[in-house]
Chain A
Amino acid sequence: MSILSNSEALRLHIPTPVARPGEIPSFSHLRFSEAGEITKPSIDAEEPGLRHLPYGLIRIMDDQNAAVGPWNPHLDNETLIAGLTAMMRTRAFDDRLFRAHRQGKTSFYMKCTGEEAIAVAQSMVLGADDMCFPTYRMLGWLMARRYPLDKLVNQIFSNAADPLRGRQLPILYSARDYGFYSLSGNVGSRFGHAVGWAMASAYRRGKAIALGMIGEGTTAEGDFHEALTFAAVYRAPVILCVTNNQWAISSFSGIAGAETTTFAAKALAYGIPGLRVDGNDFLAVWAATAWAAERARHNCGPTLIELFTYRTEGHSTSDDPTRYRPVEEASLWPLGDPVDRLTQHLYATGAWDTEKHRTLSEAIDIEVRAAIKAGEAVGTLGTSKPPVSEMFEGVFKEPDWRVIEQRRELGV
């Protein structure tokens, strides 16, 4: 018998997570670099010398909450406190608006709890002219740039003051003046827009760069690979990021390929640098984004960054994560909570104390409650909406006869 013959029946492998509800969660299969362990290459380093990076994990805050290693961005206290403030505002807003959904004030909400460091750090690193092509867990980007909270609430309540005029699902914001591209419920379909936008900036000899975001589950879409191909081929000034929060609704990251490699390692086949970063470490997200931004600004081309984090809450208000993962899993996440870690770091450096933290927390709570109150004064879902004529606006730049006739038919 030939050794090439099958000696056993073929098996189909279906990935399954370590633990399901009722089982004991474990993250012992994950291998993390130590804080400060990963060396920092120059931005113009040749790609072949960077091929180890996707398998490490860039971390800066160590177990004693000190910032260590070559990636440490040495941020001043003012910057750190601004970052902490935006993260805390994001979390407080999420909590309040999630509750508003349970009270029937909106149809839908999605929280980014546990992922606040990513959007906030990136928003602060990149410039006013740069453009973020976000996922729906990037509220922190807007918080860091002081987007008015009441406008967010009005969008979420789809009320008469909704900046998106009642046309878009709650939290799928658009905020051009804040460098925040229009969101959509189709995951992944804007990843290639970030590349095209960056190509346009290079074509125009501009200075602005683009940031494209995608979830780890969506890396299985063609959009991800198409965008990487274009970014690599045209050396677009773009930072492409995979937020690996371990869960795509109920599908664990293994369903997207995490059992055999990292998402950062997808960069290798495209010949671009791939960084894998502790997404719950504000300083690490900052440093990696800044490195990739410098590369982009110096015509060194795109960078793929995997932001390793954990989706602490459900996918959306329509999801119940207790149905598919152990309740305790979130609290056992080995890389901790991003807000808590930055707070502890500031405590450790002496720049912050519990009194200041409590004062800030209370001020944010007042700010968020005031924004909700202002939104409620305009109206909540079903009690207030923009004029129905808005339904017919914006289909084209100028309406064609169909829209004009149908608007007349509806009597608006």
Chain B
Amino acid sequence: MPTMTMLQALNSALADKLADDPDVLIFGQDVGYFGGVFRVTDGLQSRFGLERCFDAPISEGGIIAAAIGMGAYGLRPVPEIQFADYILPAFDQLVSEAARLRYRSAGEFWAPLTVRSPYGGGIFGGQTHSQSPEAIFAHITGLKTVIPSTPYDAKGLLISAIEDDDPVIFLEPKRLYNGPFDGRHDRPVPTWQGNPAAEVPEGLYRIPLGTAACVREGEAATILAYGTMVHVALAAIEESGIDAELVDLRSIVPLDIDTIVASVKKTGRCVILHEASRFGGFGGELSALVQERCFYHLEAPIERVCGWDTPYPHAFEWDYFPGPDRLIKALRRVTGTD
């Protein structure tokens, strides 16, 4: 089986869907001839033709509006927003239109678009190339939000997202495009080569939206994470020796509540990890759900390890980024081993 980076796996998913379904088309800033600033759509225009993968004006609102109209017609558009930080001009389209169209029209119209967008930090991108906006989408009734952490998951989840009849925000952890970055920025960066999760089949396969993955079984505590933070958690577990269970949510809407609850009931302790700033972040919702459903199994307060409540800073990237050291401290607190 070939080994792919996450970039290659995403490219493979798009190519397979373009070949599979003539109603799938891709457009966005720089995605056509050039193949995207991160190269996710590399070669797709030359393989599938101008109309299947083309450049769009610098107009996020216009891109999403056009995609919704295409979806209402019957296509399955896969627009790219170049950075998740730039998705906000399209926020009205996503919230007021894509998310509401099926409901308000009593099922006459719907918008089966998949909005791909690189998100997250760790690339010294400063506050306009590093943010994690998943919580603001999770809050919007009618949108699905998916975040892969491995090449294998990226391809299977993206294919499921494109085939889904509801609008999906597909956030790609850009720091994982070329390797499983674990937050140890001062060490050599690993590549996907040789990583079992980078064995990606050619051809279509699907990972259902709303199914979390138990990446590592353990007894001492449950770590809930997604995206880049899954690899941060693996590093923290390895370095600390704490026998934590790691649940990769993979999609935050729909959320695999059963897997979360089963894990926390088993371990009795829970640490929630995300890159986005803490206040009002998705960790708050996770914390509430765990408390509501696992209260009598909890043996320690739920901990959240997140980005600080500041804009994403440039020079202070590694002071902001919730790396393994902060997670290890939290794990020690919840397990009473600090």
- Residues of A near any B CB (own CB < 8 A): 131, 133, 163-165, 167-168, 172, 174-176, 181-182, 184, 186, 189-201, 203-204, 210, 222-223, 226-227, 229-230, 233, 394-397, 400-401
Contact = CB atoms under 8 A, between A and B. Distances in A.
Contact of B97 (A163, A190, A198, A222): A190
Contacts of A223: 61, 65
A191 to B, nearest CB: 7
Taking each of A131, A172, A193, which has the highest tally of chain B beta carbons within 10 Å of its own beta carbon? A193
B108 A400 contact: no
Nearest to A169: B104
B70 A196 contact: yes
Interface string B61-75: 110011111111111
Contacts of A167: 103-104, 106
10 A-B pairs with least C-beta separation? A196-B69, A192-B65, A226-B62, A196-B66, A193-B69, A200-B73, A182-B105, A174-B105, A197-B69, A200-B70
Contacts, number: 138
Given A176-B109, A397-B165, 12 more contacts: A174-B105, A174-B109, A181-B72, A190-B97, A192-B68, A193-B97, A196-B66, A196-B77, A203-B25, A222-B89, A226-B59, A230-B65
B93 to A, nearest CB: 7
Given A193-B68, A195-B66, A394-B102, A203 B97 contact: no
Contact of B104 (A172, A222, A229): A172
B336 interface: no
A194 B69 contact: yes
B72 A396 contact: no
Nearest to A399: B254
A196 B73 contact: yes
B151 to A, nearest CB: 27
Interface in B71-108: 71-75, 77, 89, 92-93, 96-97, 100-108
Nearest to A222: B61
A181 B109 CA distance: 8
Nearest to A164: B106
Nearest to A212: B69
Nearest to B103: A394
B69 A229 contact: no
18 contacts: A131-B73, A133-B69, A167-B104, A172-B104, A182-B101, A182-B105, A189-B97, A192-B61, A192-B93, A193-B66, A198-B69, A200-B70, A201-B73, A227-B62, A230-B59, A395-B102, A396-B102, A397-B165
Contacts of A175: 108
Nearest to B51: A203
Contacts of A397: 102, 110, 165-166
B106 A196 contact: no
Contacts of B92: 186, 189
Contact of B62 (A174, A197, A210, A229): A229
A118 B96 CA distance: 27
B185 to A, nearest CB: 37
A396 B166 contact: yes
A197 B253 CA distance: 27
A164 B104 contact: yes
A396 B142 contact: yes
B141 interface: yes
A286 to B, nearest CB: 25
Contacts of B71: 196
A233 B55 CA distance: 11
B269 interface: no
Contacts of B141: 395
Contacts of A184: 96-97, 100, 104
Nearest to A232: B57
A182 B98 CA distance: 12
Contact of B106 (A165, A190, A192, A227): A165
Nearest to A386: B106
